[in-house]
Amino acid sequence: MPSGVGPQDREDDDGVSDLAHRLSIHQTTCSQLVDKLVARGYVLKTRSDQDQRRVGLTITRTAAKVLKDAPGPAEGLISEALLGLSEATLESLTEDLGQLIDGLHLQDEQAADRPLSEL
C-alpha cells in the first residue's frame, strides 16, 4: 500500500472500500489496484467470519519490508520542490490553487472528501 496508508497508519483488515476512501479514489480503481498487489504477493484478502461479504486486506511480510524502505508521505519530488520555493511564490500558488478549486463549482463542502471521478 502507498505511503501514508501503511500498517502503522491503519487498522488491520481494512476493506477495499475503506482503502478507497482513505486514498480518495473510486472503489473500482482501488479494487483493481488491490488485485494487482495480491497477485504480486503484497496483500492478502481474507473473508470476515462475522460477515462473509466483507473482505479484509492485510499486508504480507514482503510488503512490510518494501514499506519499511519507502519514503514517508511528506517525502518526494513535490515536497522537495515546494521547499525550494520562495514565500511569494508559495503565496501565489496558494491563491492560484484556490481559484482552481473555486472553478470546480462544488455545491457540497463534503465533496472535498470524495475523488474527483465521483463528482
The residue ranges of every structural domain in the chain are 1-73, 76-106
C-alpha cell at 3: 505511503
In terms of Cβ atoms closer than 10 Å to its own Cβ (0-12, 13-18, 19+), residue 23 is middle
pLDDT of residue 113: 67
Tell me the β-bridge partners of 45.
57
105 phi, psi to nearest 5 deg: 55, 50
| Selected residue with higher pLDDT from 38 and 10 | 38
CATH among 3.40.50.970, 1.10.10.10, 2.40.110.10, 3.40.50.300 for 1-73: 1.10.10.10
Give the pLDDT band (50/70/90) at residue 20.
confident
What is the mean pLDDT of the segment spanning 84-111?
87
C-alpha cell at 94: 496558494
Question: 30 is written with which cell numbers?
Answer: 482501488
